[in-house]
Each structure stands twice: as C-alpha cells, then as structure tokens.
Amino acid sequence: MDFNDTPEEAEFRAEANAFLSKHLKPKSEAQPRERGEEFLKRAKAWQKTKAQAGYANITWPKEIGGRGGTPMQQVVWNQEEGKFDAPTGPFQIGLGMCIPTVIAFGSDEHKKRYVQKALMGEEIWCQLFSEPSAGSDVAGLKTRAVKDGDEWVINGQKVWTSGAHYSDYGILLTRTDPTVPKHKGLTMFIVDMKQAGVEARPIHQASGGREFNEVYFTDVRIPDSDRLGEVGAGWKVALVTLMNERLAVGGSPGPDYSEIMEYARQIGILSDQAFREKLADWYVAAQGYKLTKFRTQTALSKGETPGPENSIGKILTANQLQDICNTGIELQDHYGIISDEELAPMKAIFQQSFMWAPGLRIAGGTDEILKNIIAERVLGLPQDVRVDKDIPFEKLRVG
C-alpha cells in the first residue's frame, strides 16, 4: 500500500487546491446543512464553474465533456473538494449514478441530449427505484409499464426519491413482464419529471428537511426510444446504477470523532474513562476505513478495478455517524433537545445529523444487504437461500 502521491498526483492536487481556493471558502468544522432555492442556485453555478474548467467528472472522455483523466485524479479532486464549502449535493445522484447508466446503455442521441446538460448543471436527475412494498428488494417492485404502440404507459408509485421535486429527469425501473421471475421482468426508462402524470410529493422529515419524495405515475407515456437497455433486461441496467450508488454513498458527511472530541474538550469531559473508550473506538474505526480507502486508491493508481469491499465504508460510516450524534446529544443533557443552530453547541450539528443519520443505513442498500454482499463476494461465504428466485412474479405470495 502506497500512502504518498506520485509526482503527477501531487502536481494535480496542488492545481485542484488552487482552483478551489479561488472559488470557494474552506469548510467550517461545524456547518449546518443548506436547503432551499438559494442553495440550488448556488449548486448549479458551482457545477457549471468546475465543468467549464474541466474538473467535473474527470475520468469521463473529453468527447462527452469530461477531462479524460485518471481515476486517481478523480480521487484527489474529491479529497480536495471535500475540504471546501462545495454545494455538490443536488448533482451527486445524477452525475454519480444516473448519467453513467445513460452513458452505458443509452443511444448516441441520449448521450448527445443529456450528458452535457447534466455535466454543466443545467439539468438535475433523480433515481426512481424504491417502492413502499419492496423495501430493499428492488426486484420486488410493482410499478407497471405496458406497451402501447411506440410508447409505454406507466402506472405506480416510488418512494424515498431524493431530489425528485426539483429534478428535470430520472431513470425509472419498471415491471414489464409479471409472468417471469422478478429479476427477469424489469425494464429501465428515462422519464421527464415535469411531464403530465408525474407527481412528486416531498416527505416532511423529522429533521425539518424535505429532500425525499413519494412519486406517483398516472398513465405516464414514455416513448420506446427512451428505454435504457433491452426489454426485460432492466435488472442488468439497475446493477450498474446500484454499484455506482453504493460507492457514491460510501462516506458520510456530518460530525466525526474530531468534532465530538473538540466538543468534549470544550465541556471538559475528556478525562471521563467511558467517553475516552468510545472516542478510541471511533478513532480506530475511522483509521481502519481510511486505510481501506488507501487500498482502493492504490488499486486505482495501478489501473486496477476496486471490488465489492467498498461496501464496508457505508456500513461503518453510517453507523458511526449515528452513534457519534447520539453521544453528542447525550453530552448536552436536557439541553440536547435544542436543535436551533443559533443556540445549540457546535451549530446544532449533532441534532441535525442525528435526525437523518439513520437514513444513511438505508440509502444505497441497507446494512443487511451490504453485509450479505461482503459475506458472499468478499469473504466467499455461501449465498442466502432465496426461495422466490425462480417463481413468476405474479405468483409470489404477498401480504
């Protein structure tokens, strides 16, 4: 494992840092989450700025708007951008998951129409997979797509769709054949989120935010030309999206051991033995994750493809974030109920993150799903028994 930048990587890191320093402010250690139209406007402006300079999706080929750079350059850029107040959230799903799927399975017309506009921040995308009755079983979805001439008619519901209320387009996974086993009867489409019949209803969260949505499709018509992949091959297309998703949500924003240690220092509790033990556990886990990421970076620098061990990161960071936030609130005793960033310690970062931290244990695959991936694909353990694997979807028992 190599912990040092190569001369080329060091040069690119300095270049990236200089560009970021020119356009953004350094990230404060305790910064509340931004929301609303002004944040969306700032995010679009920043996306356009870095795209015009060649820093948006560095590994993409130049002919589709990328830089044609190396995976390690992308890693270095992500590390440096993470040090600044960069409003990247609205584009993480589109550029990290949806557009790569369009590039992999879309036509030349799709790539010409959608990629550049997404890269420049002109259009935002969402991912429409999860459903109320399917949970983590993506292949158990019920949203139907029925062929009608050169169009497909869509009816159904999706849920927990991040950013659907401000997205322009989405990738939509539907069931086109219920007479075959659930993984074989799926088809993926590009959907215009502003067209008639598409209704996004923001879900009011306990944290006060409205980032997630229920999305309803009522007789929505999608031309067959906006299909991604073959009819019935939607699971293959979805796997590409899901692999990108789990890597994209591998880390987690919010307070880590350094922030809670700083707060503990402020209130004079660092001498408490029980707290010191928890702090040590968080530090060791964070260092383990850091070394795992170095292993991934080393593989990338050698031109290798990292494997499913990246699932480790999301399990560790999501659970640790929840634990740290819970402890931070407990340290404030009865004052921990105050979530006003103007009144609460550390700008209420523990309270605000505590409310949405559990969602990170669901988004991009639940803890249980990711543990199965690690067990089967990293450790080589036997697969779970799947009794519904070869049964036609319409014959599966429900309720």
- SS3 state at 277: helix
- Give the DSSP H or E segment for 276: helix 273-301
Choosing from 123, 211, 245, 259, the catalytic residue is: 245
Whether 40 contacts 113, CB under 8 Å: no
**Tokens at 380, concatenated:** 């080589």
Nearest Cα to Cα of residue 322 among 273, 247, 256, 248: 256
- Residues in Cβ contact with 363 at an 8 Å cutoff, skipping those fewer than 6 apart: 160, 162, 249
Residue 62's alpha-carbon distances to 2, 232, 389, in angstroms, are 29, 32, 42
Residue 171: how many other CB atoms lie within 10 Å: 26
Rounded distance between C-alpha atoms, residue 44 and residue 121, angstroms: 5
Whether 55 contacts 85, CB under 8 Å: no
Rounded distance between C-alpha atoms, residue 81 and residue 17, angstroms: 8
Nearest Cα to Cα of residue 354 among 377, 387, 383, 320: 320
Rounded distance between C-alpha atoms, residue 153 and residue 223, angstroms: 9
- SS3 state at 98: helix
Residue 14: how many other CB atoms lie within 10 Å: 13
Q: Beta strand 227-228 with 186-192: parallel, antiparallel or unpaired?
A: antiparallel
Residue 246's alpha-carbon distances to 34, 163, 166, 171, 217, in angstroms, are 23, 18, 23, 17, 26
Residue 265: how many other CB atoms lie within 10 Å: 10
Residues paired with 294 in a beta bridge:
none
**Tokens at 126, concatenated:** 């969402």
Nearest Cα to Cα of residue 179 among 22, 30, 392: 392
Whether 258 contacts 290, CB under 8 Å: no
**Tokens at 115, concatenated:** 């990629």
Whether 368 is catalytic is: no
Catalytic residue positions?
245
